[in-house]
Amino acid sequence: MSTTIAPAASVESKPQASFNEIPTVHAEYALRNAKVNTWPFRHAVVRPIFPAWYYQDLTSLFPADDAFVPLNKYHPDRGAVFLTDRGDGTDDLGRLPEPQRAFWADFARSFGSDRFRAALLDRIGGESYVDRYLSRSRALIHLSLDRCGYQIAPHTDVAKKIVTAVFYLPDVGDFTNEPYGTSVLVQKPGAEQMNPQDWNRYDIAYTAPFIANSLFTFAVGTNSWHAVKPVDKPTRRRSIQYFVFLND
């Protein structure tokens, strides 16, 4: 009895595959496999969060300083470029030149997707967060540029933010701003009557290092006290601010 062996499929006849990692899938992999710290509130540091080649694109296509406008009257030293609807039906993508506009519009679409938002909710809050918040939320994303003098006083974040995620974007090998990541705070015993925004009310439990290709993310709640120490030297502190934000 003879056996007929089908010829092997020709590799050359197939479309050329792309062997680059998909940025959102890489980020989801890193996020879902990251350790989540549970005290004093649920938070995680993830790095590297992006493929190396994509991180180079993020930093090289980061807008020029003059594209940024003050985030609000409370933070004049923080400039913002909104990639998604800021809440009034507008964003800032139209102010960016090409190829920045196309790149950041694609970032907003892909990382603002239900899939990535679900990954954040699931890793930080579990399946109950996905069930409770995914259909009722959106991604609020803006680029951020902080300058000398910038700081964030202790606070918990507004209740409409379910998960906060900050992607740190210094150049690879630049450790100038390493001390100025987000600090996790714990209230000192007996300090309940002090001003909630007074640094002396808290001990610093941990400060996420502001280093390349890293993410700091946490669940927002009544005890999610955090802050950024004053940036006391000339600097350009670049980041992507990402919030899972409850719909109106």
Share of the chain above pLDDT 70, in %: 92
Report how far apart, in Å, the C-alpha atoms of 196 and of each of 41, 50, 164, 206, 228 are: 17, 35, 20, 18, 15
- Give the pLDDT band (50/70/90) at residue 19: low
pLDDT in tens, 110-134: 999 999 999 999 999 999 999 999 9
* DSSP letter string, 145-185: EE-TT--EEEE---TTEEEEEEEE-PPTT--TTGGGSPEEE
Calculate the average pLDDT of the chain: 90
> What's the pLDDT score for residue 71?
81
Query: What mean pLDDT is predicted for residues 49-66?
Result: 96
Which of 242, 181, 227 lies closest to 50 in space, CA to CA? 242
What is the average per-residue pLDDT within 148-165? 91
Averaged pLDDT, 54-65: 96
d(CA 66, CA 147): 13
At residue 127, what are phi and psi to the nearest 5 degrees? Answer: -60, -30
Q: What is the pLDDT of residue 163?
A: 98
Per-residue model confidence (pLDDT) at position 61: 98
> Where does the pLDDT of residue 18 fall: very low under 50, low under 70, confident under 90, or very high at 90 and above?
low
Query: Over 90: is that where the pLDDT of 201 sits?
Result: yes
Lowest mean pLDDT among 4-18, 156-170, 227-241: 4-18
Statement: residue 47 has pLDDT above 80: yes
CA 210 – CA 237 distance, rounded (Å)? 9
Question: Taking residues 219-226, what's their average pLDDT?
Answer: 97
Which band of pLDDT confidence, cut at 50, 70 and 90, is reported for residue 2? Answer: very low
Q: What is the DSSP letter of 82?
A: E
Q: What percent of the chain has pLDDT over 90?
A: 80
